[in-house]
Structure 1
């Protein structure tokens, strides 16, 4: 699996949407551009990944996002747990959309 975070944008203009790819290491991507290689040494997602994205993209103060789970990719349940824990630690409220569940529902 892979993931997309869509942060609430309270201003006019382009929204803040970021894909978390595993190629093979975890990389934040925006509009096809790799913007942050989180862990070049290995393919595992470590805690602090959301905070690093927020700092890199100057998104301080975001309060809400949607976490999208895609059925393809090299992420796993542990990666999802790490993402959720990071969002919780930053007090960011989120909803989850899992495309696999939508296909089966």
Structure 2
């Protein structure tokens, strides 16, 4: 199992579609007893939150966010946690909006210190 996500900061490696998270978005993760949660902001997102569970190297969570244009959106994501060769953490994500149309995949990686 990859190391704990508690206290690490991750960012997408590529921009998603306009109005979604992108390389300027920062996720601060927390983890305790199989539960995960994070706050995120940056780019088009003013504030976002996610909450869910971790089972071994699989995260399953729901997310909600507020964008600069005042709209909100929410969805569901399943991520696989892996350790990179340099010791950082990577999440390979499969997500789907629940409040609007759309789904996809993304990759977020721990920022280098």
Q: What TM bracket, shorter-length normalisation?
A: 0.3 to 0.5
Normalized per residue, the structure richer in strand is 2
Tell which has more relative contact order, 1 or 2 (C-alpha 8 A, sep 6+): 1
Q: TM-score, normalised by structure 1?
A: 0.35
